[in-house]
């Protein structure tokens, strides 16, 4: 399973269509502006190439200014060299401009989410009650209280203070599932309220919203360099220094020993030796990292965080949402004490109808799938609910006679409820009150009048298998047990295997019983887990791992996760999480998909690999360029021609090597922006593959390419 | 048939030396980690007397700056002592031949040369130096500069090993120096010196004798404290011979057997260093990596040198033959020793190129102590360049290589071409080359390039010899030798200081303790060296070689 | 204060080591050499007719003599005493021509003294001084030129 962008995003290609087209006019204009020496000096490698260009340009115009080093007859050749050097620098600025344009396109796409809208601001007027005024969303300030009604777009990030509503976040997440938001939840600017209405408190100023931050980040060209970029820049500066010394030493030697070298040839050798490929592409690679993160709806607060993600040794994975699909789902009805499966299932159905938790819904779904739909459902309206409480650890319903029926709020997709209604619009009145309880097996056991003999055995079996047993009783009689099971996310096992192959330790964090945790962990191939975890356990785990000098990546969403997120080297917060969590994290996932932490790590690795690969390629390329230019470098030493293994005429050799040097830059732009492809496998194998491709390939490819270019040059008859 | 014999001899030398070095490294680890050894009973009291004389705190664990400063100050004093002896030897005892003192510039060149473990000689020892000059002027510096290399390596190894349970630092310069002398160099040189005497190397303080030869003429028999000097010259990868003809002179190297023993002598300690590295780090495989890489490069060097047919030619010694001479020449540059058993001018251009490569790389395996230091520099650069391809911030020994580490490694790397190429160009520009009668062809260029490369690499083999005894070459090579010595040492000690406190992760993406990494390291070093020096090799030795081919056709 | 300690410590160390390495060590080695291996320690001096005629290790120029083995003049040290067996055989022919010493004798002499640069293969060579001393010693009574050299040694020895 190759690791590529599609997989990172986990989205369909349709999403890409939203992207603004890249403005080539902008790229052309911006790239030329970037050639200004004042701007280029930040990239020393390209800056010295530009200086070289100016020198050769001067040689073309006034060769007489370079006694012994330039010749009147070679002005055409100098003109060619001048042109190629210009194009070399231009290619490098084009790659910058292109990366930035792409980044802007992503930003523009995200900006759509932040269209100027209107908001309804609520004023508390003491005794006179509330008044509502309509304001521009950009006028809202932190602390304002706003009303958002059905059909409204949420104007700005805010925390719900009253009411419950369904929101459509598809514009942000690409998934068209309604999300229920109630008091304390954060609603994100750009999402739409599809049912009900809420009152919310604005918790950011307009320019501080996550989208604004994201847009600002991807738009900013003044991005601070990441640690590895700084280190790489120093290496490139050092190499530039070495080659500059060599250039001057060669010029001096040629003059002192009358070796008859042409300055343009020495400069060509110099430029070919300079690590121009990586020098030109380094900024683009950096920008692409952020762009690719934001394409995946992740705001990285710094490029450093992405890079650190690539270094992660340990990933703390929340079981729920990452390894398993949301919550546990009903898997099996186990009737006990001579009751039938239908009795149990129907009672469970009734007791769960108003239970809007995923668990509750899964009971209804399972019963429906098994066609166990009770006739008493129309009595639900009059049912007396007993809410789940931590004391009784059960919930219940008492059904009385009724003739009306309404759907519970929220819950399943609309069409499914519709089918319910159509198929089962029969009415069978109940003759007597019926009380159904469901809950923890021991709680039900305590309240039941009689308990079947194998009750405890079934409970133990389910627990040991990693499941959760929920008992159901009707009017004090135990009907049976519902087997709740974790549902492993599709493909997660393979991804965890991928992590392990790459030497990253996945650690599962769960609030479950150790037995349950072991079973799930075993199923997906995780050795280490923390069971019965409390929020502070996560923090402790982060600290423990760091004490072993490991780099820890984790996700979190609750306020209690904030310390752990802050302590972790890479903290990814869910957009749906609390503000404290998002503030403490160094990345925020707008899709609130916990398994994306794996993608973040992979992306970080890809970014590092790309830098390494282009650097290696850039350096190994030099070998072939040497063999092209050195043999023809000194006019007075024809014996050096024996080294001319490519068999090139002097000026053809120089031009071919220079042309190769230039076109390799745009040729590698796709790799720079997209990243080198890799499969999750052992780091050694990944390394060796890259080494073979970019190291060995970097030595061999230019020999062939330079020869081909030379043949082409001769064929077109332009020179020599 | 004979080719197989050559290979067999080379393999035999390698096997014996690697075996001995492996064993020696066990002992060295005990010496530098203050473990008990069989010599304690004799040496502990001796060392205690020395420490009492020094009046220092022997338990003080030094940081990298203090360690460097102590080393540097110490070296300045040793050079000063030697300078005084050499300039005033005419008035000092042990001068039966009544040699006068050296000129200031020649003495400057000589002391910078020997104190930096270079041993470039712009004088002919047998006809310039008194016994006292040879002993205190030369041999003393050969000991201290060799010991400096060892203690620098040991301090750097301690840094790379990281802080363990205790809060230790890079070690104490004084105890390291004293223990290197008493427990390593003096016992080893004593054994080698006696062995060489048995095999015919003279050791006497009785003065030169004039004899009437068979043909009735008179001949000066230049006996002196030769064996004691040759043994430290080889073991300490110094290379500065008692005689101008160095190890070609029969008294310094009387037979094929002494030739191979001296060859092994210069290989022993540099070969032990990678093993010591592995042992001090408690990661023997990391030591193996350094060893394989340096011997791999050494093998490549040899292969280049042995392309030309190795028969006895003019400018060689009959008893040594062509092969041993080429092997010795490559080895002496690969280990940056610089003692020679031939006249370099007689060597084939490809041998010269191999020799130049050895000195440009300096880690093949390089000089005593510093060779391992340069190899670590290359390891850091290589790990950084290719390590990213494994998808992680590059790490060496579990420590992340950050911007500042790259900065240090790059400066150390950059220093070498600068101190070679700048003075080479200057020597031409200022007419100094012309002044000593060297032309503008590839031969003259090769000689000057070789001179500064040898000086910067602290090798000491040279073409110029006494013709280099001009104020320009004496002073310029003197400066190059100290720059080539102390800049990298300063930087790598700083690096060791940084490594000491770096967090070490247990998971690393790019392992350096397997057999793949040394191969990558070799290629990386070759490319880096080729990139830097190839145009100059092309102008010099390669051109000489190519012109030779053309002349032969 | 700290700088003072640095200077005094390193200076004292330099002086102590100058004494140990520069004086004590070579003197001790000289003592051992002179006591146990005086022949080698003093340069393997060659004796003939009770006179010291040079060192076996140092080649002697013989002014292209026709009755003695001549050294190579293109060696690295300039005092290489050894000549290849090929060269020795060629010179044996010359000596035979001028002295009438049988070629078989000279061949035997050369082969008895042949050594190899690689111990058991490589360049075959002989020490010219040894050969000359052996010839003079053997023929100083029968061949006049050798007798002259032989007798000359003792009278004007150094």
- Chain C residues within an 8 Å CB radius of B78: 14, 17-18
Chain A adjacent subunits, 3+ CB pairs under 8 A: B
| pLDDT single digits (tens) B317-349 | 999 888 888 899 889 989 988 888 888 777 788
- Chain C residues within an 8 Å CB radius of B5: 118, 121-122
| pLDDT single digits (tens) A606-633 | 999 999 999 999 999 988 888 888 888 8
Contact at 8 Å (CB) between A143 and A166? no
Residue C149 at interface with chain B, using a CB cutoff of 8 Å? yes
From A30, A96, A196, A318, active-site residue: A318
Is residue A429 scored above 50 in pLDDT? no
pLDDT above 70 covers what percent of chain A? Answer: 82
Average pLDDT of the residues in A104-126? 71
Chain B adjacent subunits, 3+ CB pairs under 8 A: A, C
pLDDT above 90 covers what percent of chain A? Answer: 26
Residue C140 at interface with chain B, using a CB cutoff of 8 Å? no
Is residue A158 scored above 90 in pLDDT? no
Average pLDDT of the residues in A98-119? 72
Average pLDDT of the residues in B287-293? 96
| C49: closest CA of chain B, how far (Å) | 11
Give the count of beta carbons closer than 10 Å to the beta carbon of residue C112.
Answer: 11
* Chain centroid to CA B3: 29
Contact at CB, C10 and B77, closer than 8 angstroms? yes
Average pLDDT of the residues in A632-644? 75
User: Which token pair is A608?
Assistant: 């590092």
Q: How far apart are CA A709 and CA A272, in angstroms?
A: 15
| pLDDT single digits (tens) B113-167 | 999 999 889 988 888 999 999 999 999 999 999 999 999 999 999 999 988 766 6
Contacts 24+ apart (CB under 8 A), A142-146: A142/A202, A142/A203, A142/A204, A142/A205, A142/A208, A143/A201, A143/A202, A144/A201, A144/A202, A145/A121, A145/A199, A145/A200, A145/A201, A145/A202, A146/A119, A146/A120, A146/A121, A146/A122, A146/A199, A146/A200, A146/A201, A146/A202
Contact at CB, B531 and A241, closer than 8 angstroms? no
Residue of C nearest to B7 (CA): C118
| pLDDT single digits (tens) A432-476 | 567 888 888 888 888 888 788 888 899 888 887 778 888 998 888
Q: How far apart are CA B213 and CA B296, in angstroms?
A: 49
Q: How far apart are CA B123 and CA A90, in angstroms?
A: 57
Nearest of A63, A83, A82, A61 to residue A72 by alpha carbon: A63
- Chain A residues within an 8 Å CB radius of B430: none
| pLDDT single digits (tens) B341-355 | 888 777 788 888 888
Q: Which of B69, B181, B211 sits opposite C158 (nearest CB)?
A: B211
- Identify the band that residue B239 occupies on the pLDDT scale cut at 50, 70 and 90: confident
Q: How far apart are CA A517 and CA A579, in angstroms?
A: 29
Q: Is A318 a catalytic residue?
A: yes
Is residue A421 scored above 60 in pLDDT? no
Strands C124-127 and C115-116: antiparallel
| B99: closest CA of chain C, how far (Å) | 18
Partner residues linked to A193 by β-bridges:
A167
Q: Which is higher by pLDDT, A659 or A437? A: A659
Contact at CB, A612 and B387, closer than 8 angstroms? yes
The pLDDT assigned to A19 comes to: 52
Which 73-112 residues of chain C touch chain B by CB within 8 A? 74-84
Residue C128 at interface with chain B, using a CB cutoff of 8 Å? no
Q: Which of B174, B232, B245 sits opposite C76 (nearest CB)?
A: B245
- Chain A residues within an 8 Å CB radius of B350: none
Nearest of B208, B246, B209, B206 to residue B230 by alpha carbon: B246
Q: How far apart are CA A15 and CA A23, in angstroms?
A: 19
Is residue B226 scored above 60 in pLDDT? yes
**To the nearest whole number, what is the mean pLDDT of chain A?**
80
| pLDDT single digits (tens) A683-706 | 888 999 999 999 999 999 999 999
**To the nearest whole number, what is the mean pLDDT of chain C?**
90
Residue C144 at interface with chain B, using a CB cutoff of 8 Å? no
| C26: closest CA of chain B, how far (Å) | 6
Average pLDDT of the residues in A155-169? 80
Nearest of A6, A33, A48 to residue A100 by alpha carbon: A33
| A608: closest CA of chain B, how far (Å) | 5
The pLDDT assigned to A590 comes to: 76
| C40: closest CA of chain B, how far (Å) | 5
Residue C151 at interface with chain B, using a CB cutoff of 8 Å? no
Nearest of A277, A276, A279, A273 to residue A246 by alpha carbon: A273
Find which of A224, A256, A570 to mutate to test the B interface (most B CBs within 10 Å of its CB): A256
Secondary structure string (H, E, C) spanning B437-453: CCCCCHHHHHHHHHHHH
**What is the pTM for the complete model shown?**
0.85
Which 399-458 residues of chain B touch chain A by CB within 8 A? 400-403, 405-407, 410-411, 413-414, 417-418, 421-422, 424-425, 428-429, 440-442, 445
The pLDDT assigned to A16 comes to: 41
| pLDDT single digits (tens) C95-146 | 999 999 999 999 999 999 999 988 888 889 999 999 999 999 999 999 999 9
Average pLDDT of the residues in B46-53? 94
Name the strand (E) or helix (H) holding A496: helix A492-501
Find which of B16, B66, B180, B203 to mutate to test the C interface (most C CBs within 10 Å of its CB): B203
The pLDDT assigned to A111 comes to: 63
- Identify the band that residue A381 occupies on the pLDDT scale cut at 50, 70 and 90: low
Chain C adjacent subunits, 3+ CB pairs under 8 A: B
The pLDDT assigned to A321 comes to: 74
Judged on CB neighbours under 10 Å (0-12, 13-18, 19+), A106 is buried
Contact at CB, B424 and A606, closer than 8 angstroms? no
- Identify the band that residue A718 occupies on the pLDDT scale cut at 50, 70 and 90: low
- Chain C residues within an 8 Å CB radius of B217: 60-61
Q: Give residue B446's domain range.
A: 4-552
| C92: closest CA of chain B, how far (Å) | 18
Domain count, chain B: 1
Contact at CB, B214 and C54, closer than 8 angstroms? yes
- Identify the band that residue A423 occupies on the pLDDT scale cut at 50, 70 and 90: very low
Q: Which is higher by pLDDT, B529 or A577? A: B529
| pLDDT single digits (tens) B484-530 | 999 999 999 999 999 998 888 877 788 899 999 999 999 999 988 87
Q: Which of A639-643, B288-292, B299-303 has the lowest mean pLDDT?
A: A639-643
DSSP letter at B49?
H
Contact at 8 Å (CB) between A315 and A127? no
User: Which token pair is C43?
Assistant: 């340069």
Contact at CB, C32 and B225, closer than 8 angstroms? no
């Amino acid at each position: 399973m190759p690791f590529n962008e599609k997989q990172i995003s986990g989205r369909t290609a349709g999403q890409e269509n939203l992207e603004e087209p890249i403005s080539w006019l902008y790229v052309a204009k911006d790239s030329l502006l970037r050639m200004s020496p004042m701007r280029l000096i930040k990239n020393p490698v390209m800056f010295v190439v530009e200086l070289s260009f100016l020198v050769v340009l001067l040689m073309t115009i006034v060769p007489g200014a370079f006694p012994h080093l330039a010749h009147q007859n070679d002005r055409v050749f100098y003109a060619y060299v001048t042109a190629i050097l210009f194009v070399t620098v231009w290619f490098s600025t084009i790659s910058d401009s292109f990366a930035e344009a792409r980044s802007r396109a992503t930003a523009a796409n995200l900006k759509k989410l932040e269209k100027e809208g209107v908001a309804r601001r609520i004023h508390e007027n003491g005794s006179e009650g509330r008044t509502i005024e309509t304001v521009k969303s950009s006028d809202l300030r932190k602390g304002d209280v706003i009303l958002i009604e059905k059909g409204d777009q949420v104007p700005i990030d805010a925390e719900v203070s009253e009411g419950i509503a369904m929101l459509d976040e598809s514009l942000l997440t690409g998934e068209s599932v309604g999300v229920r938001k109630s008091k304390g939840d954060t609603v994100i600017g750009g999402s739409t309220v599809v049912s009900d209405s809420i009152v919310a408190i604005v918790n950011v100023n307009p320019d501080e919203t996550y989208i604004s931050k994201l847009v600002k980040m991807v738009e900013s060209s003044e991005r601070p360099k990441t640690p590895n970029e700084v280190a790489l820049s120093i290496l490139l500066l050092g190499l530039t220094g070495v080659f500059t010394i060599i250039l001057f030493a060669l010029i001096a030697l040629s003059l002192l020993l009358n070796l008859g070298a042409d300055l343009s040839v020495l400069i060509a050798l110099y430029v070919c030796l300079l690590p121009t490929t990586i020098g030109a592409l380094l900024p683009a690679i950096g920008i692409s990292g952020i762009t690719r993160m934001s394409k995946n709806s992740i705001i990285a607060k710094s490029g450093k965080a992405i890079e650190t993600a690539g270094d992660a040794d340990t990933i703390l994975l929340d079981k729920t949402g990452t390894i398993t699909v949301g919550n546990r789902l009903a898997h099996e009805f186990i009737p006990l004490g001579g009751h039938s499966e239908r009795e149990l299932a129907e009672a469970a159905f009734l007791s769960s109808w108003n239970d809007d938790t995923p668990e509750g819904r899964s009971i209804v779904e399972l019963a429906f799938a098994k066609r166990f739909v009770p006739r008493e459902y129309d009595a639900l309206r009059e049912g007396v609910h007993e809410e789940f409480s931590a004391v009784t650890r059960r919930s219940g319903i008492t059904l009385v006679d009724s003739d009306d029926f309404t759907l519970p709020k929220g819950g399943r997709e609309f069409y499914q409820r519709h089918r319910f209604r159509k198929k089962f619009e029969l009415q069978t009145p109940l003759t007597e009150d019926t009380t159904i309880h469901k809950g923890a097996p021991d709680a039900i056991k305590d309240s039941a009048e009689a308990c079947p003999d194998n009750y405890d055995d079934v409970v133990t079996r389910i627990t040991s298998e990693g499941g959760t047993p929920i008992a159901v009783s009707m009017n004090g009689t135990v009907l049976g047990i519902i087997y709740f099971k974790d549902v492993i996310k599709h493909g997660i096992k393979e991804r965890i295997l991928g992590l392990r192959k790459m030497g990253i330790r996945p650690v599962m964090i769960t609030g479950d019983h150790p037995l349950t945790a072991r079973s799930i962990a075993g199923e997906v191939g995780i050795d280490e887990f923390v069971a019965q975890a409390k929020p502070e356990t996560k923090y402790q785990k982060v600290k423990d791992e760091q004490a072993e000098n490991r780099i820890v990546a984790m996700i979190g969403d609750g306020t209690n996760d904030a310390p752990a997120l802050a302590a972790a080297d890479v903290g990814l917060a869910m957009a749906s999480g609390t503000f404290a969590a998002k503030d403490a994290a160094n990345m925020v996932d707008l899709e609130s998909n916990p398994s994306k932490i794996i993608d973040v790590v992979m992306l970080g690795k890809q970014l590092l690999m790309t830098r390494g690969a282009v650097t290696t390629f850039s350096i190994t390329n030099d070998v072939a360029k040497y063999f092209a230019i050195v043999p023809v470098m000194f006019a007075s030493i024809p014996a050096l021609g024996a080294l001319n293994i490519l068999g090139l005429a002097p000026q053809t050799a120089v031009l071919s090597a220079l042309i190769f040097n230039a076109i390799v830059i745009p040729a590698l732009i796709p790799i720079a922006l997209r990243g080198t492809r890799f499969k999750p496998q052992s780091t050694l194998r990944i390394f060796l593959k890259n080494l073979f491709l970019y190291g060995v390939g970097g030595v061999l490819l230019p020999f062939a390419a330079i020869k081909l270019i030379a043949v082409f040059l001769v064929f077109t008859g332009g020179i020599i | 048939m004979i080719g197989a014999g050559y290979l067999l001899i080379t393999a035999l030398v390698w096997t014996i030396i690697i075996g001995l070095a492996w064993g020696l490294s066990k002992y060295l680890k005990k010496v530098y980690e203050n473990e008990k050894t069989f010599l304690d009973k004799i040496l502990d009291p001796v060392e205690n007397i020395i420490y009492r004389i020094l009046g220092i705190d022997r338990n003080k664990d030094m940081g990298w700056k203090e360690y460097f400063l102590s080393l540097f100050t110490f070296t300045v004093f040793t050079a000063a002592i030697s300078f005084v002896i050499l300039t005033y030897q005419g008035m000092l005892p042990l001068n039966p031949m009544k040699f006068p003192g050296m000129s200031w510039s020649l003495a400057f060149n000589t002391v910078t040369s020997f104190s930096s473990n270079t041993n470039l000689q712009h004088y002919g020892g047998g006809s310039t130096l008194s016994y006292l000059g040879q002993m205190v002027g030369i041999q003393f510096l050969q000991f201290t500069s060799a010991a400096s290399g060892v203690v620098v390596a040991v301090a750097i190894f301690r840094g790379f090993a990281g802080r363990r349970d205790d809060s230790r630092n890079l070690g104490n310069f004084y105890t390291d120096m004293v223990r290197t002398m008493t427990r390593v160099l003096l016992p080893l040189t004593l054994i080698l010196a006696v062995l060489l005497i048995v095999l015919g190397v003279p050791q006497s303080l009785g003065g030169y004798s004039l004899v009437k030869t068979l043909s009735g003429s008179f001949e000066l028999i230049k006996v002196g404290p030769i064996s004691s000097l040759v043994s430290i010259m080889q073991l300490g990868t110094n290379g500065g011979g008692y005689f101008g003809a160095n190890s070609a002179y029969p008294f310094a190297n009387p037979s094929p057997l002494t030739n191979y023993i001296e060859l092994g002598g210069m290989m022993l300690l540099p070969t032990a260093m990678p093993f010591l590295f592995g042992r001090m780090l408690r990661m023997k495989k990391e030591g193996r990596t350094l060893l394989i890489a340096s011997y791999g490069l050494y093998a490549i060097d040899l292969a280049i040198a042995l392309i030309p047919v190795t028969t006895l030619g003019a400018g060689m010694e009959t008893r040594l033959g062509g092969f041993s001479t080429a092997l010795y020449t490559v080895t002496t540059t690969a280990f940056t020793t610089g003692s020679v058993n031939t006249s370099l001018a007689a060597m084939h251009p490809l041998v010269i190129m191999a020799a130049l490569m050895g000195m440009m790389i300096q880690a093949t395996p390089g000089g005593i102590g510093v060779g391992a230091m340069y190899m670590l520099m290359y390891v850091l650069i290589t790990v950084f360049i290719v390590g990213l391809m494994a998808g992680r911030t590059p790490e060496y020994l579990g420590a992340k290589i950050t911007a500042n580490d790259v900065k240090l490694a790059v400066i150390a790397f950059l220093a070498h071409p600068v101190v070679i190429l700048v003075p080479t160009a200057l020597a031409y520009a200022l007419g100094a080359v012309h002044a000593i009668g060297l032309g503008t062809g590839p031969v003259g260029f090769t000689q000057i390039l070789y001179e500064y490369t040898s000086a910067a690499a602290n090798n000491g083999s040279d073409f110029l010899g006494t013709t280099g005894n001009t104020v320009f070459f004496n002073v310029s090579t003197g400066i190059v030798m100290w720059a080539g010595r102390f800049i990298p040492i300063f930087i790598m000690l700083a690096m060791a200081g940084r490594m000491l406190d770096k967090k070490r992760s247990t998971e690393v993406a790019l392992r350096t303790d397997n057999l793949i990494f040394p191969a990558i390291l070799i290629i990386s070093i070759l490319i880096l060296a080729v990139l830097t020096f190839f145009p100059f090799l092309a102008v010099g030795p390669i051109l000489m070689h190519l012109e030779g081919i053309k002349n032969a056709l | 204060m700290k700088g003072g300690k640095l200077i005094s410590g390193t200076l004292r160390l330099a002086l102590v080591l100058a004494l140990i390495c520069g004086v004590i060590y070579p003197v001790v080695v000289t003592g051992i050499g002179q006591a146990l291996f005086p022949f080698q320690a003093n340069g393997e001096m060659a004796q003939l007719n009770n006179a010291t005629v040079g060192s076996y290790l140092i080649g002697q120029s013989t002014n292209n003599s026709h009755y003695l083995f001549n050294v190579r003049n293109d060696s690295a040290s300039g005092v290489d005493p050894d000549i290849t067996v090929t060269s020795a055989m060629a010179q044996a022919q010359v000596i035979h021509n001028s002295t009438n010493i049988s070629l078989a004798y000279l061949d035997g002499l050369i082969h008895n003294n042949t050594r190899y640069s690689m111990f058991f293969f490589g360049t075959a060579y002989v020490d010219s001084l040894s050969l000359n001393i052996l010839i003079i010693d053997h023929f100083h009574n029968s061949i006049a030129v050798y007798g002259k050299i032989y007798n000359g040694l003792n009278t004007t020895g150094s």
